[in-house]
Amino acid sequence: MLTAILTIAALSVSFGLLLGYSAIRFKVEGDPLVEQIDAILPQTQCGQCGFAGCRPYAEAIAAGEADINLCPPGGEAGMLALADLLGKEPVPLENESNTSSAKSIAHIREDECIGCTLCIQACPVDAIVGAAKQMHTVIADQCTGCELCVPPCPVECIDMVPVKTTLSNWKWPYPDGMEQEPKTQEQGS
Amino acid sequence: MAKLNKDILLSAAILGIFGVLGATLVSLTWTATAERIALNQQQAFLRNVYKLIKHEEIDNELLKDVLTIHSPALSKDKVQVYRARKQGEPVAVIFSPVQSPGYAAPIRLMIAVRADGSLAGVRVLSHLETPGLGDKIDDSRTDWILGFEGKSLDNPPIEKWKVKKDGGVFDQFTGATITPRNIVATVRKTLEYFGQEKERLFKQPAAPPAEPPFH
Amino acid sequence: MSEYALILVSTVLVNNFVLVKFLGLCPFMGVSRKLETAIGMGLATTFVLTLSSVASYLVNTWMLEPLGLEYMRTIAFILVIAVVVQFTEMVMHKTSPLLYQVLGIFLPLITTNCAVLGVALLNIQEQHNFVESALYGFGAAVGFSLVLVLFAAVRERVNVADVPEPFKGNAIALITAGLMSMAFMGFSGLVSG
Amino acid sequence: MITRNPGRLDFHGGIHRPDRKSLSAGKFLGKVPLPEILTLPLQQHIGSAAEPTVTAGEHVCKGQIIARTTEYIGAPIHAPTSGTVLGIEERPVPHPSGLNAPCILLQTDGKDAWGELPEPLPHYADLDPSLLRERIRWAGIVGLGGAAFPTSVKLNHGPDRPIQTLVINGAECEPYITCDDLLMRKQADRIMEGVKILLHVVEARECLIGIEDNKPEAITAMQQAVAESGLEHVQVVQVASRYPMGGEKQLIKVLTGKEVPSHGIPAEIGVTCINVATAAAIADAIIAGRPLLSRLVTVTGEGIANPGNLEVAFGTSLSQVITHASGLTSLAYKLILGGPMMGFTLDNDKVPVTKGTNCLLLASKEEAPDPDKALPCIRCGKCVEVCPAQLLPQQLYWHARAKDLDKTREYNLFDCIECGCCSWVCPSHIPLVQYYRFAKTETWAMEKEKQQAEEARRRHEARTERLERLERERKARLRQKKEALEKKAARGAADPKKTAIEAAMKRVAEKKARQARENEEN
Amino acid sequence: MSYREIIRNGLWGNNQALVALLGLCPLLAVSNTLINGLGLGLATTLVLVLSNGTISFIRHWVRQEVRLPVFVLVIASFVTAVELAMNAWFHDLHKILGIFIPLIVTNCTIVGRAEAFASRNPVPQSMVDGLSMGAGFTLVLMTLGGLREFIGQGTILSGIHLMFGEASRALTFSFGDDFHGLILAILPPGAFFGLGLLIALKQVIDKRNARRASAPQAEPQTTTATAEG
Amino acid sequence: MEFPVHTSPYGQLPNNVTRLMGQVLLALVPGIIALVYYFGWGVIINICIAVATALAAEAGVLHLRKRPIIPTLMDLSAVVTAVLLAIALPPLLPWWMTVLGVLFAIVMVKHLYGGLGYNPFNPAMAAYVLLLVSFPLSMTRWLPPEMLNQYPLDFLQSLAIIFGGQFPDNLTWDAITSATPLDEMRTQLEMHQTISELSQSPLWGDFGGQGWEWIGNWFLIGGLFLLWRKVISWHIPVAMIAGLLLSAGIFWMIDPESMPSPAFHLFSGGMLLGAFFIATDPVTASTTPRGRIIYGFLIGVTVYIIRTWGGYPDAVAFAVLLMNMAAPTIDYYTKPKVFGAREDEDG
Ligand SMILES: Cc1cc2nc3c(=O)[nH]c(=O)nc-3n(C[C@H](O)[C@H](O)[C@H](O)COP(=O)(O)O)c2cc1C
Ligand SMILES: Cc1cc2nc3c(=O)[nH]c(=O)nc-3n(C[C@H](O)[C@H](O)[C@H](O)COP(=O)(O)O)c2cc1C
Ligand SMILES: Cc1cc2nc3c(=O)[nH]c(=O)nc-3n(C[C@H](O)[C@H](O)[C@H](O)COP(=O)(O)O)c2cc1C
Ligand SMILES: Cc1cc2nc3c(=O)[nH]c(=O)nc-3n(C[C@H](O)[C@H](O)[C@H](O)CO)c2cc1C
Ligand code: SF4
Ligand code: SF4
Ligand code: SF4
Ligand code: SF4
Ligand code: FES
């Protein structure tokens, strides 16, 4: 009986040594995963995911603290890309109602703008130009459509206008009325 | 560096401690159970044997009176030969396990032959034959295997030791001739072996293996 | 020589660990959603399985048997396996972070992947020598990887098929596995001779 | 010299589709009279839209530039006749989307008075190719074979990619279309003139003119023109009639045996491919100094009373073209712009003819039945057999259907030339090409979104950094001030802003919740 | 996490066999009869409770790098002890389950629960978790076993006497000897098909429950969304 | 004027699924006639049972899934599945086994994956294996071919056996059934008979078994018809036959006394039916040209391996299922080189 205990003890001690050593030898710093996740997020910085912007959300996902379905601007495509990267089951989006497919951008009715600069402070990507007491303009190309500038405006002169379809941004529609469109897999629960 | 070493030693210590605890638990249980387990296994084996040869017919310590033979004519692997005696007189030998080729995988048999060369009986220890076809050799499914009881090399005559389809006396199963054919052949070979080696089988001094392979 | 070939054929096809022996099913179901991941998992398992098959053979022959400690087999083997896996995990984490991320939760599961302990115990049961043990472990792992990769490719296709709602996901995957296992029954009886 | 298509050079796949060229072959119905108003879309070709150089009310002369672009890939637009600019408005344009786009509306004055034209360059052989390219660019010439890619750009292959072979595309493989055929029959000399200019511009050693063997008259005419020109290194090659023989890559493969690299252009293998009509237009621009103002258009199908080919000034509406071809028959069911393999349907005939318009197919219900309901792909592999790009159309479809854009790219989606062969043979009648078009535009959009996201990230990071810096500076200042001033003053300034933003965030959240509830209720 | 929730999770919500797809090997290998399933399920549950408890107890002392080896050591010790004990005192039961008992060591459920629950929660919760996960697992094993046994060989509760003694033999139901079952059911493919069908069944039930529950639950859901925003 | 819009190409498309499946059925006719000639009415009865069940099952599933029923039934794929399964079954199989097999094929193997086009496994062969594994006895009870049959059964007698298990006076299963040539071959070889001894048996014809070899020929004709109509491409049948002949040829040359000749293998069992009708099932086969060659070849080799050393006398069904399983992987690794592929890229 003693031999048994001693043998197993010897075995486990030597394995312990090995593992202890390799824990130090193969220590891993940093996490390249956050970068990859961040690259998938739409960078709208709208905070709808409940985090202070896209990067914090990416960090939370990497740490396994947040689910992958919280970003409405990223939509289903974004969620699927995350599921793909992380090898997880796709999950239906949390706030489906916000994922209107048509993208909008902010437009300031310039004659009504009083130049209070509140919208400039709200815009996470500096897409609004103008100085205090002067009318402000949204740079259409840089606006991500996050709507954060709309509520602060004291005179409510900011509208979200849908982006117009032109010959250059028109997309061929998904063929419809054909056979069944595949739906993304739902989780087993 | 000192810190590193400490970490390593700590890991080793933790694993070591649990190793000791686990090993202690198992060793204690082993000590407490080893004997009973051995006994259980022996009894299980003996129960099988007593189905073929009545308990009262034997008075020697069967499990000790055993030989290990290795005869390619009989079986690919080693076979244990248990010798049953009453008051020193040979009663029967039990070959176990004898391998017979099956349809899917080898079939392992226990074959008991009385001293007079007649069969005390045959049992299938394990097999992987097709359910519904070849598995009728199992005594829990049909009584086919009981048909060997009392048969010997003269009864039926040796050229009739075949399945009916091949001109013998033993039944086959519809659609599955291979399995019974092979078993009949194996039992016949065992009888032949016994016939040739009978003297030696009973005389040779016992040599029980260190760890009897019960089945 | 042909004996060794037989061991390989037997473990890879006839007695395929996953589909016939029911060993290693959890990673088989879990890591087969994407072909690339499946290949990674196959490689990892092949490595671990071969290594632990050999290691447990050594522990058994040089340590447990001389000391008469056969009843400690399970403990000793599982310890060896756990350490091999943990070691692989750490090395992989360092050298291939993405693979690690993907296989992350399954690496610990390789430890408890029945296939690994199964190989170790079956080696004893079948009384394999050193080379046979190594081959047996390797063959089992190749068989595992083979069906894993094939299964992953089939699953990728099934994933976008028009599967009825209740069967989406794991249910249809299991049925697919069932059909694969049915196909593998064709190999039965191949080796017993 | 007529050379038969040497058997060993062939392209993979393709289909034999019974052609209906006889409806319009060799029939020239003359010029469509100038209508009262011409509608000239600002975007008529691949590349960026042109900027108008005229304003409403301005009078313009025939051949005057009315819109131009500074972008490299682009071409100017000329007034096809003299008249007055009515304005620049959104009008329906010939595009599969059916969208409206900005067009210059030109009220014709019936005088058809030429404006000032650059001097003709009949001695082009002594001129530098770059000068000629400039003239071709000025003339607004784009590929008339279908893609409408600015020809001057194509001819500017760059010094590191010398051109050995000029391929002239007279294959015209689409069933029904016969405008190139007619041009070759009637104006082989003009085409040859263009070929000579092109040979000079690209400095090629040889020229191969590929014509499908279902156009014997065109072959004879071209062969005669070649013989008359006395050019030794120009050859007319008769190629088999198999769709899409006229595809640039396929024709080059058949004529030269070389494959245009995947994702590449012909110049990379020392070849340039120009359509016969483009060559003729080049001749006009150089020899006569005239810009591209009109083109030959095939009007055909069972739905038109008098099928044939017409010369049409750009901007003329399709309805006028139809009228000139004696109007519709009772069989007319679908209006297809382009051929039946690659064209697209329009829901009305109010759109103008543009540089890329080669055919107007008024198909009867039998010629263009409504599509059946598609069945699932049965993986029969017929599409693989016919795909001239040697793709796996069924896999592309499988992934496009699942909207897995990465996978479609892995299966070389962007090598698909949208020829439609796969859809044609598919027993399940799956609109395969539409799936590929969908996946392509979707990929482009995603690419653009990615760029925008990248830009947004950059800007957000810059902003965060700036705010942090400001905050640090403010704190530093605060600390300094604190020593001198009372605390109250400093705090007051900071808080309202913060509350404003917080309030904003809260309002957004509330709005969302409200929306969500509303959606729920609906 | 409340006990109620733990129990619900174990039996249904996060059922190891149907949802987490863990412990599949014994599940599929042993579910050829109901009794086999019951026997193995009970043994697994016992080990699961013991190991969850122990691991939860020691969770603060175990370092990351030796975590896994320690866990499996603990589990293997319990399994071996249980196996030896059963072999000694419940020999008949051990005989039918024989080879499956060492397999418990590598049942993914056990390490899975150790990692996912016991190493993060206090002892009582962990033991309850072990119990309910084990029970959930056992239920699936029995259902699958019963189903396969019935379809494959036309019996129910065959072999019950090995577990509950000769007296219970009467409980075995059989179609009779010449019943030809769908043998496939007791072969490996049958195990896969059976589990696949059970999972689909669970999804149907879940969906129905969700539909029934969705009406009254709509309100609270939107309020949580607001709170998060 | 308003015109309807949709995308190119425009015109009457030359192919459709119904026609494709119809041609497969047509191509099966010669083989079926031969089967009926040699094995009697049971074949026809099986086909009827199977087709009826298949249509009913498909309609049932579609109804449950709330999908249009008639258009899907019209594609005839279920009929092809049913017929192929039926002609692979022994002629006097009890009716409920046929029904069970067809239900399995249509419901489990086809519609659980979404129906036509989505199933990774060949429904008919999966069902065949299900039945073979579950009812080995019934599934190995073949009738002797016509010329050897002492008790030819008429239509009603066949019907009575299939539906009621009732035999005409004083006949039993053992009297009217016999092993198939492949089965016989296996059994005899196992008893160390030589091929030349074996070929004395009345079961033997010129290359394969009596009758069987002719049925193979008729299926071959149907297969050539399919090739001619371009319903199937040559790759799979040719590669599959090549795989079988090559492996059989090698071993036959080594040991002609215990290894049957390649011709025997080719004309026995389901080989020719399999090569032209089963391995070519477009849905479950490999789709790339190179992939099809590999796929077919491996089926051929697998058939030989299982027939020679495995546990089953005929192996077409298993080999097809095994390769169905491998087809997606084969496809993945055999993407063709695209037009103009550059040297440094792989297709
Ligand atoms: C799936 C399958 C399983 C079989 N299993 C067995 C078996 O377990 N034992 C056996 O003797 N024959 C088995 N056979 C039958 C043999 O192939 C062979 O037909 C038979 O043994 C010859 O017997 P017969 O002469 O009575 O037809 C099986 C056949 C098949 C198709
Ligand atoms: C985006 C784009 C860029 C191109 N760039 C060049 C170029 O730089 N040089 C050139 O000779 N042709 C260029 N081409 C022209 C193509 O090679 C080709 O001739 C043209 O697209 C028409 O071909 P198709 O009608 O066969 O599609 C370009 C085409 C496209 C669509
Ligand atoms: C499928 C397909 C078919 C084509 N058929 C023709 C054709 O028949 N004749 C032709 O001139 N161009 C055809 N084209 C366009 C040519 O690829 C190529 O763009 C053109 O010949 C280049 O000349 P261009 O720039 O002068 O138009 C086809 C393109 C595709 C993709
Ligand atoms: C050439 C050809 C061969 C076919 N072979 C089979 C077959 O072997 N088994 C089968 O179930 N269906 C077969 N089908 C029918 C159909 O493809 C099959 O039912 C699908 O697998 C169902 O999705 C075949 C169809 C064609 C066109
Ligand atoms: S919801 Fe999406 S876009 Fe908005 S901040 Fe979060 S990750 Fe960025
Ligand atoms: S302008 Fe308004 S909507 Fe656009 S990015 Fe800035 S805050 Fe968002
Ligand atoms: S449309 Fe694209 S995929 Fe289809 S045949 Fe043409 S090139 Fe190939
Ligand atoms: S032709 Fe149609 S059905 Fe056939 S493989 Fe291609 S896409 Fe699928
Ligand atoms: S791998 Fe999970 S129980 Fe076997």
State both tokens at D243: 């769709």
The dihedral region occupied by B91, where left means phi > 0, alpha psi between -120 and 50, and beta the remainder, is alpha
Interface of D with F in 97-116 (CB under 8 A): 98
- The band of A30, judged by pLDDT with boundaries at 50, 70 and 90, is low
Residue B126: how many other CB atoms lie within 10 Å? 12
Nearest bound ligand to CA F23?
Answer: 4
Closest alpha carbon within chain E to D504: E229
The residues facing D337 across adjacent strands are: D344, D360
For E80, the 3-state DSSP assignment is: helix
Q: Average the pLDDT over each of D423-437, D463-477, E39-53, F132-146 and give the range with the smallest value.
A: F132-146
Residue F329 confidence (pLDDT): 96
**How far is residue F140's CA from residue D318's CA, in Å, rounded to a whole number?**
72
Is residue D178 a contact partner of residue D297, using CB atoms and an 8 Å limit?
A: no
Burial of B129 from C-beta contacts in 10 A (0-12 / 13-18 / 19+):
buried
Chain F residues whose beta carbon lies within 8 Å of the beta carbon of residue E183: 133-135
Is residue B97 a contact partner of residue B108, using CB atoms and an 8 Å limit?
A: yes
Chain A residues whose beta carbon lies within 8 Å of the beta carbon of residue C101: 33, 86-87
**How far is residue B85's CA from residue B115's CA, in Å, rounded to a whole number?**
10
State both tokens at A157: 């002169």
Answer whether residue E224 is part of any domain.
no
- The band of E224, judged by pLDDT with boundaries at 50, 70 and 90, is very low
Q: Mean pLDDT over residues F88-106, rounded?
A: 95
Answer whether residue A17 is part of any domain.
no
- The band of D92, judged by pLDDT with boundaries at 50, 70 and 90, is very high
D432 versus E111: which is more confidently predicted?
Answer: D432
D244 lines ligand 3 (CB under 6 A): yes
Q: Mean pLDDT over residues B99-123, rounded?
A: 88
Query: To test the ligand 3 pocket, which listed residue (D197, D248, D254) has its Cβ within 8 A of the most ligand atoms?
Result: D248
In F104-211, alpha helices (H): 123-134, 136-139, 155-164, 173-176, 181-190, 195-198
What does the buried/exposed string (b/e) look like for C151-188 if buried means 16 or more CB atoms within 10 Å of the residue's CB?
bbbbbbbbbbbbbbebbbbbbbbbbbbbbbbbbbbbbb
The most confident of B23-37, E87-101, E170-184, F101-115, by mean pLDDT: F101-115
Q: Measuring CA to CA, which residue among A143, A119, A123 is closest to residue A42?
A: A143
Interface of D with A in 83-102 (CB under 8 A): 93, 95-97, 99, 101
Element (H, E) at C105: none
Query: To test the ligand 6 pocket, which listed residue (A108, A120, A146) has its Cβ within 8 A of the most ligand atoms?
Result: A146
> The CATH number of the domain where A128 resides is what?
3.30.70.20
> The CATH number of the domain where A59 resides is what?
1.10.15.40
D166 lines ligand 8 (CB under 6 A): no
Q: Is the pLDDT of residue D47 over 90?
A: no
Nearest bound ligand to CA C29?
Answer: 9
Matching residue, tokens 């690209």: D202
> Do A106 and A156 share a domain, yes or no?
yes
A129 versus D8: which is more confidently predicted?
Answer: A129
Q: How far is D497 from chain E (nearest CA, A)?
A: 20
Q: Average the pLDDT over each of C147-151, D302-306, F186-190 and give the range with the smallest value.
A: F186-190
The residues facing B108 across adjacent strands are: B99, B126
Residue B140: how many other CB atoms lie within 10 Å? 7
Distance B71 CA to ligand 1 centre (A): 29
Q: Mean pLDDT over residues C23-31, rounded?
A: 86
pLDDT over 70, % of chain E: 87
Chain F residues whose beta carbon lies within 8 Å of the beta carbon of residue D425: 13-15
Q: How far is D402 from chain C (nearest CA, A)?
A: 6
Which domain range does residue A134 map to? 100-165
Contact call for B and D: 3+ CB–CB distances under 8 Å: no
* Mutation choice for F interface testing from B103, B162, B174 by most F CBs within 10 A: B174
For D299, the 3-state DSSP assignment is: strand
Chain A residues whose beta carbon lies within 8 Å of the beta carbon of residue D508: 147-148, 150-151
F245 versus A114: which is more confidently predicted?
Answer: F245
Tens of pLDDT, residue by residue over B47-80, are: 888 888 888 888 888 888 888 888 877 777 788 8
Residue B214 confidence (pLDDT): 47
For D46, the 3-state DSSP assignment is: coil
- The band of D279, judged by pLDDT with boundaries at 50, 70 and 90, is very high
CB proximity A14 to C under 8 Å = no
Ligand 9 atom closest to C28 (CA) = 1
CB proximity C155 to D under 8 Å = no
Q: Is the pLDDT of residue D283 over 90?
A: yes
In D325-431, alpha helices (H): 382-386, 393-401, 405-410, 421-425
- Segments of chain A assigned E as strands: 104-108, 128-129, 137-138, 158-162
Residue D237 confidence (pLDDT): 94
Which domain range does residue E65 map to? 3-211
C188/B101 Cβ within 8 A: no
Q: Average the pLDDT over each of B29-43, D95-109, D243-257 and give the range with the smallest value.
A: B29-43
For D26, the 3-state DSSP assignment is: coil
Answer whether residue E203 is part of any domain.
yes
Is residue D133 a contact partner of residue D345, using CB atoms and an 8 Å limit?
A: no
Closest CB to E84: pick one of B15, B21, B33. B33
Chain A residues whose beta carbon lies within 8 Å of the beta carbon of residue C68: 3
Distance B148 CA to ligand 1 centre (A): 22
* Mutation choice for C interface testing from F322, F324, F333 by most C CBs within 10 A: F322
Angle (CA) B49 B52 B58, round 5°? 65
- The band of D481, judged by pLDDT with boundaries at 50, 70 and 90, is confident
CB proximity D139 to F under 8 Å = no
Of all protein residues, the one whose alpha carbon is nearest to atom 9 of ligand 1 is B134
Chain B residues whose beta carbon lies within 8 Å of the beta carbon of residue E161: none
Q: How far is C188 from chain A (nearest CA, A)?
A: 33
State the DSSP code for F336.
Answer: P
Q: Measuring CA to CA, which residue among E36, E35, E41, E33 is closest to residue E150?
A: E33
Widest distance between CA atoms in chain E: 67
Q: How far is C82 from chain B (nearest CA, A)?
A: 12
B18/E186 Cβ within 8 A: no
Q: Average the pLDDT over each of A127-131, C107-111, E32-36 and give the range with the smallest value.
A: C107-111
Is residue F269 a contact partner of residue F209, using CB atoms and an 8 Å limit?
A: no
Chain E residues whose beta carbon lies within 8 Å of the beta carbon of residue C178: 188-193, 196
State both tokens at D480: 């300094």
Closest CB to F133: pick one of E180, E184, E193. E184
F189 versus F223: which is more confidently predicted?
Answer: F223
- The band of E179, judged by pLDDT with boundaries at 50, 70 and 90, is low
Ligand 9 atom closest to E107 (CA) = 3
> In this structure, is the dihedral angle defined by the CA atoms of residues F81, F83, F87 and F92, taken in order, positive or negative?
positive
Tens of pLDDT, residue by residue over D93-122, are: 999 988 899 999 999 998 999 999 999 999
D442/A171 Cβ within 8 A: yes
Q: What is the number of residues in chain B? A: 215
Chain C residues whose beta carbon lies within 8 Å of the beta carbon of residue B23: 72, 75
- How many domains does one find in chain E? 1
| CA E65 to centroid of chain Cα atoms | 29
Tens of pLDDT, residue by residue over C45-93, are: 888 889 889 999 999 999 888 888 888 888 888 888 888 887 877 777 7
Answer whether residue E157 is part of any domain.
yes
Nearby residues of B59 by Cβ (< 8 Å), 6 or more positions away: B85, B86, B87
Average pLDDT, chain F: 89
Residue B1 confidence (pLDDT): 44
For D237, the 3-state DSSP assignment is: strand
D294 lines ligand 3 (CB under 6 A): no
In D150-247, alpha helices (H): 151-155, 179-186, 188-202, 216-229
What residue ranges define each of the domains in chain D, with the CATH number in brackets? 2-7+27-110+126-324 (3.40.50.11540), 371-522 (no CATH)
Query: To test the ligand 1 pocket, which listed residue (B100, B127, B133) has its Cβ within 8 A of the most ligand atoms?
Result: B133
- Segments of chain C assigned E as strands: none
- How many domains does one find in chain A? 2
Answer whether residue E179 is part of any domain.
yes
State both tokens at D247: 């595809």
Q: Mean pLDDT over residues F76-80, rounded?
A: 96
State both tokens at E173: 């139901």
Q: Is the pLDDT of residue A64 over 60?
A: yes
C158 versus B141: which is more confidently predicted?
Answer: C158
Is residue D176 a contact partner of residue D283, using CB atoms and an 8 Å limit?
A: no
Residue B176 confidence (pLDDT): 77
CB proximity C160 to D under 8 Å = yes
Contact call for B and F: 3+ CB–CB distances under 8 Å: yes
Residue F155 confidence (pLDDT): 87
Residue E113 confidence (pLDDT): 85
Distances from the Cα of D322 to the Cαs of D28, D298, F296, in angstroms?
A: 14, 11, 55
Distances from the Cα of E22 to the Cαs of B44, D96, D147, in angstroms?
A: 35, 52, 57
> Do A67 and A123 share a domain, yes or no?
no
Residue C83 confidence (pLDDT): 82
**How far is residue F71's CA from residue A179's CA, in Å, rounded to a whole number?**
12
> Do A105 and A161 share a domain, yes or no?
yes
Residue D333 confidence (pLDDT): 93
Q: Is the pLDDT of residue A181 over 50?
A: no
ipTM: 0.86
CB proximity C164 to A under 8 Å = no
Q: Is the pLDDT of residue B213 over 60?
A: no
Q: Measuring CA to CA, which residue among D222, D303, D297, D247 is closest to residue D13?
A: D247
For C64, the 3-state DSSP assignment is: helix
Contact call for B and C: 3+ CB–CB distances under 8 Å: yes
Identify how many contiguous H helices and E strands chain C contains and give both numbers: 10, 0
D147 lines ligand 2 (CB under 6 A): yes
Distances from the Cα of C106 to the Cαs of C20, C117, E15, E114, in angstroms?
A: 22, 16, 19, 14
CB proximity E215 to D under 8 Å = no
Residue E98 confidence (pLDDT): 61
Q: Is the pLDDT of residue A188 over 50?
A: no
State the DSSP code for A157.
Answer: -
Residue F334 confidence (pLDDT): 93
- Domain chopping of chain F, boundaries: 16-177
Tens of pLDDT, residue by residue over A3-17, are: 888 888 888 888 888
Residue C32 confidence (pLDDT): 87
Q: Is the pLDDT of residue E192 over 60?
A: yes
Q: Mean pLDDT over residues A103-119, rounded?
A: 85
Tens of pLDDT, residue by residue over C124-146, are: 878 889 999 999 999 999 999 99
Matching residue, tokens 């009279």: D33
Answer whether residue E139 is part of any domain.
yes
> At F68, phi and psi to the nearest 5?
-60, 135
Residue E27 confidence (pLDDT): 87
- The band of A180, judged by pLDDT with boundaries at 50, 70 and 90, is very low
Q: Mean pLDDT over residues A16-27, rounded?
A: 78
Ligand 9 atom closest to C23 (CA) = 4
Q: How far is D368 from chain C (nearest CA, A)?
A: 30
State both tokens at B132: 């519904």
Residue D30 confidence (pLDDT): 92
Nearest bound ligand to CA F114?
Answer: 4
> Do A78 and A105 share a domain, yes or no?
no
Characterize the bridge pairing of strands B89-100 and B79-86.
antiparallel
> Do A113 and A151 share a domain, yes or no?
yes
Burial of F325 from C-beta contacts in 10 A (0-12 / 13-18 / 19+):
buried
Element (H, E) at D308: strand D308-313
Q: Is the pLDDT of residue E130 over 90?
A: yes
CB proximity B131 to C under 8 Å = no
Residue F30 confidence (pLDDT): 95
Q: Is the pLDDT of residue C99 over 70?
A: no
D291 lines ligand 3 (CB under 6 A): no
